[in-house]
Structure 1
Amino acid sequence: MSKTDDAKVNEREQEGEATLRAGVYDELRHRLITGRIAPGLGISTRGLAQQLGVSQMPVRDALSRLAAEGAVEIRSKRKIIVPVMTPELLEEVMHCRLLLEPEAAALALPAIDAKLVRQLRAADAAIDAAIESGDVNSYMENNYAFHFLIYRARGQGVLTRMIETLWMRFGPLMRVVYGRVGTARLVDQHQQALDAIMRGDAAGLAEAIRADIGDGRGLIDVEE
Structure 2
Amino acid sequence: MEHKTASADETVQREDDGTPPGLDGRVGRIVRQTLADQVYGDLKELLLAGRAAPGERFTLRGLASAIGTSAMPVREAVSRLVAENALEVLPNRAVRVPLMPRARFEELRLIRSSLEGLAAATAAAAATDAELAEVVRCADLFAAERAKKRPDGAAAMRHNKDLHFALYRAAHLPTLMQMIEGLWLQIGPVLNLDFRAGPERVRQGEAHIHHAALVAALLARDPQAARTALVADIWSAGDFILSRGILPD
1:78-134 alpha-carbon deviations (Å, 9 max, x no partner): 322111110111111101101110001222333312212221121111101222232
What residue number does 2:204 align with? 185
1:18-41 alpha-carbon deviations (Å, 9 max, x no partner): 221111112111111111122112
Percent of counterpart pairs with the same letter? 31
Q: Measured at CA, do residues 4 and 79 of structure 1 come closer, stay the same or move farther in structure 2, by a change above 3 Å?
A: closer
Q: For residues 133-212 of structure 1, what are the structure 2 equivalents within 5 Å?
A: 133=148, 134-155=151-172, 157-181=174-198, 182-187=201-206, 188=208, 189-212=210-233
The alpha-carbon deviation at position 216 of structure 1 amounts to: 0.8
| Aligned residues between the structures | 224
TM-score (normalised: structure 1): 0.91
Aligned-residue Cα RMSD (Å) equals 2.1
Q: Measured at CA, do residues 5 and 177 of structure 1 come closer, stay the same or move farther in structure 2, by a change above 3 Å?
A: same
The alpha-carbon deviation at position 205 of structure 1 amounts to: 0.8
Q: For residues 25-40 of structure 1, what are the structure 2 equivalents within 5 Å?
A: 25-40=40-55
Greater C-alpha Rg: 2
**Runs of 4+ off more than 6 Å:** none
Measured in 1, the distance between the counterparts of 2:143 and 2:228 equals 21
Moved more, 14-23 or 135-144: 14-23
Q: Measured at CA, do residues 7 and 176 of structure 1 come closer, stay the same or move farther in structure 2, by a change above 3 Å?
A: farther
1:33-71 alpha-carbon deviations (Å, 9 max, x no partner): 111122112212112112211111111111111111111
The alpha-carbon deviation at position 77 of structure 1 amounts to: 5.2
Measured in 1, the distance between the counterparts of 2:170 and 2:196 equals 30
Task: Work out whether residues 34 and 175 of structure 1, in 8 Å CA contact, stay in contact via their aligned partners in 2.
Answer: no
Q: Measured at CA, do residues 79 and 51 of structure 1 come closer, stay the same or move farther in structure 2, by a change above 3 Å?
A: closer
Return 5+ residue gaps in structure 2 as ranges. Answer: 1-14
Measured in 2, the distance between the counterparts of 1:99 and 1:149 equals 18
TM-score (normalised: structure 2): 0.82
The alpha-carbon deviation at position 161 of structure 1 amounts to: 1.3
The alpha-carbon deviation at position 198 of structure 1 amounts to: 1.4
Return 5+ residue gaps in structure 1 as ranges. Answer: none
Measured in 2, the distance between the counterparts of 1:38 and 1:6 equals 48
Alignment partner of 1:62 is 2:62: no
